Amino acid sequence: MLYAMPELSAADLRVLDELKTMRAELGMHLRSKPRWEGQLRRSLFAAAIQGSNTIENITISNSDARALVEHAPLSAAASDETQQAVVGYRDAMTYVQQAPLMDFFEYSETALSAIHFMITRYQPAKWPGRYRPGGIFVSSSDPLEPMYTGPDADRVPGLMGELVDWLRDGDRDAPAYARAAMAHLNLVAIHPWRDGNGRTARALHTLVLARTGEPAPEFSSIEEWLGEQINTLQYYQALRVTQGGSFQPERDARPWLTFALTAHHRQAQRVQRRYEWTVRLWTDLARLAEDRGLAERTVSALYAAAIGELRRTTYQRDEDLSRDRAIRDVQALTRAGLLTPHGHATGRVYVLGGVAAEIAEAAAAAVRGPGRDPYA
């Protein structure tokens, strides 16, 4: 037995309708393949990886998160174990990104365990991809009172088979966001592995959305939002209230579903603001480049610096330039006072400087605003 899909309320349907509208608008904008799309995707992907791992106290800086998705070296501040953890999660989420393109893809225990293997392969003692051999509990601040106790190990294979059957055929008429949320809840409730259950459940959540035609995983994942400390606390609280401390699938999953739909709406609001900022910023930076007599392609370099930092090698790849041409462009932007270098040799990056930084801040101020609770 698994947690059942709650009957959707009028409020749920309204929230889902608003989500549908926001996603449709974003999809319409992306269909034109704007030049900034790839960079915005990478920044959202980096934030998702960073957020999901932060929940598990695996922390990396914004700079290292961007380096991770650009396949650049991470800083010495990230330990070897941390680097292996986030690289594994990046690879698992890259698989999730590709899954919608696999005509042969089918949900299976093997597919879910493969995702888990990628996430935890740096911990061979945790049995990557293999079900746990014994009981399990999630610790809380009081070691004598676990936050959650999973079902007995001998129940895991049957429950996982039931989950896979549901992923293939269950609640097919339910909205994608609701199905993804229930997949997340049921996998984390079964807790089939010795470690990495939360990260794998969050990856599955995004995979279900990706497989049902939602915008690319980078734009639909809630992991960035979940990774913020106050939201992480609410995340665990929603699971605790729903689960009641142990595997009790007869309980009402409504508290969890409400939380998950709220998270999606909040993250969609955030992505919408980032899109508005990006369009305004790109337009203003293009005008600046034209006024300074700079090549149009350098707007890509300035935008990269605005959303985090610029790496010459990434700019070279994005714009399909020779090494020398990319170096000359970056040097020209630096001499113009629009970029400021940090670091040395292979670790050198560039951030916005001068009037370019002022333009980025003005664009942010124009769209900055608090998010709203969709159920309020």
Q: What CATH number is attached to the domain comprising 330?
A: 1.10.10.10
CA distance 376 to 372: 8
Q: Calculate mean pLDDT across residues 310-328.
A: 95
Residue-number span of the structural domain to which 106 is assigned: 10-268
Question: How many separate domains does the chain show?
Answer: 2
Beta pairing partners, 349: 342
**Is 288 domain-assigned?**
yes
Please state whether beta strands 148-149 and 349-352 pair in parallel, antiparallel, or not at all (unpaired).
Answer: unpaired
Percentage of residues in the chain having pLDDT higher than 90: 83
pLDDT number for residue 166: 98
Which residue type does 65 have?
A
Give tens-digit pLDDT for 208-266.
999 887 667 778 889 999 999 999 999 999 999 999 999 999 999 999 999 999 999 99
Shared domain for 124 and 159, answered yes or no, is: yes
Residue 162 has pLDDT above 70, yes or no: yes
Shared domain for 80 and 215, answered yes or no, is: yes
In terms of DSSP H, where are the helices of 56-100? 62-69, 80-98
Last residue of a domain, one of 234, 268, 302: 268
- 3-class secondary structure, 262: helix
CA distance 346 to 70: 13
The answer, as to whether pTM is greater than 0.85, is: yes
Q: Calculate mean pLDDT across residues 118-139.
A: 93
**Is 5 domain-assigned?**
no
Shared domain for 221 and 361, answered yes or no, is: no
| Residue 28 CA from chain centroid, whole number | 21
Please list, in sequence order, all residues whose beta carbon lies within 8 angstroms of the beta carbon of residue 237, skipping any fewer than 6 positions away: none
Confidence label for 22 from pLDDT (cuts 50, 70 and 90): very high
Last residue of a domain, one of 218, 253, 268: 268
Angle, CA of 277, 267 and 223, to the nearest 5°? 120
In this structure, the number of other CB atoms found within 10 A of the CB of residue 352 comes to 24
Given a contact cutoff of 8 angstroms between Cβ atoms, the answer to whether 248 and 155 are in contact is: no
Place of tokens 């990046």: 90
Residue 142 has pLDDT above 60, yes or no: no
Last residue of a domain, one of 227, 252, 268: 268
| Residue 108 CA from chain centroid, whole number | 23
Residue 314 has pLDDT above 90, yes or no: yes
Confidence label for 30 from pLDDT (cuts 50, 70 and 90): confident
pLDDT number for residue 50: 94
